[in-house]
Structure 1
Amino acid sequence: MSYRRRNRNNIKSEINIVPFLDVLLVLLLIFMATAPVISQSVEVDLPEDKHSQSVTNESKKPVILQIEGVALYKLKMDGHFVEKSGEQLLTETDVIAFSSQAFQQDPHTLFLVAGGKDVPYEEIIKGISLLKDAGIKTVGLMTSSK
């Protein structure tokens, strides 16, 4: 009987962390394997300093897609905003139609996308995608010079 009492007194109440570490390592491997698959990307040709160009008033005026907010687009062609039904704000299909028409008239026209600081980045990418849907392969981003 004294033998049973010794066994009960010798029970260890420590946590075995080996299975815990095994599970953590397996989770780490799963996250490392799936992280490259999860990331999404958009192909963008970023200009380098020596190849970037500034647009002057002497050259032909570019077509500017101005993004005012979520699904709020204005298109500036030849220095004037394009209007449809007396309004300057255009829908996505209008942007594609007017941009495609301008590109067909002159394939060397420079297309730029402009957006303010408060415009979500997703909308800028959507604007670039709209111009790509219109058949334009090269699109520039407008920046303000300091």
Structure 2
Amino acid sequence: MSYRRKRNDIKSEINIVPFLDVLLVLLLIFMATAPVISQSVEVNLPEDKHSQSVSNEDKTPVILQVADVGLYKLKIDGNFVQGSSGQEALGEQEVVAYAGEAFQKDPNTLFLVAAEKDIPYEEVIKGIVLLKDAGIKNAGLMTQGK
């Protein structure tokens, strides 16, 4: 009686060790590349193709330009307002004060918010909130028309 198996016997067990090795390697590859893919998403802002030029009975709109994080420029009657430091860049309190003053002079004045592409959208929202704090209920966003 020989307890030795013959070489021709068929194995009935599945060897899953190589399968698990391949799965773990694939898992590591996906884990390493997933953050790189999500960080490299490029966003192109849409351009308004159906914009209409704003006419407010020949009144010049007040334009709040978001210059940088926490810095704004306010254009009233076609001229930039000078801040307390003598520069065109205004802080948040100055924007509220000057915009509120312009709104009280003429409540029908059109207010627009403008920003460059590289300005974070959060800063544009802060600009709109500043106009709201000044008592302005309606403000528009400037776009680049074609």
Q: TM-score, normalised by structure 1?
A: 0.62
Deviations 1:56-89 (A, max 9, x none): 5971000000001101100000000000232100
Deviation, structure 1 residue 55: 2.3
Counterparts of residues 63-82 of structure 1 (less than 5 Å): 63-82=62-81
3-state SS of paired residue (1:97):
helix
Counterparts of residues 9-20 of structure 1 (less than 5 Å): none
- State how many pairs are aligned: 96
CA distance in 1 between partners of 2:59 and 2:86 (Å):
26
Specify every segment of 5 or more residues in structure 2 that has no aligned partner in the other structure, as ranges. Answer: 1-49
Specify every segment of 5 or more residues in structure 1 that has no aligned partner in the other structure, as ranges. Answer: 1-48
* Runs of 4+ residues over 3 Å off in structure 1: none
3-state SS of paired residue (1:112):
strand
Deviations 1:3-48 (A, max 9, x none): xxxxxxxxxxxxxxxxxxxxxxxxxxxxxxxxxxxxxxxxxxxxxx
CA distance in 2 between partners of 1:57 and 1:140 (Å):
13
Q: TM-score, normalised by structure 2?
A: 0.62
CA distance in 2 between partners of 1:123 and 1:78 (Å):
24
> Relative CO higher for 1 or 2, CA cutoff 8 Å, sep ≥ 6?
2
CA RMSD of aligned residues (A): 1.8
3-state SS of paired residue (2:60):
coil
Higher-Rg member (1/2): 2
Identity percentage of aligned residues: 65
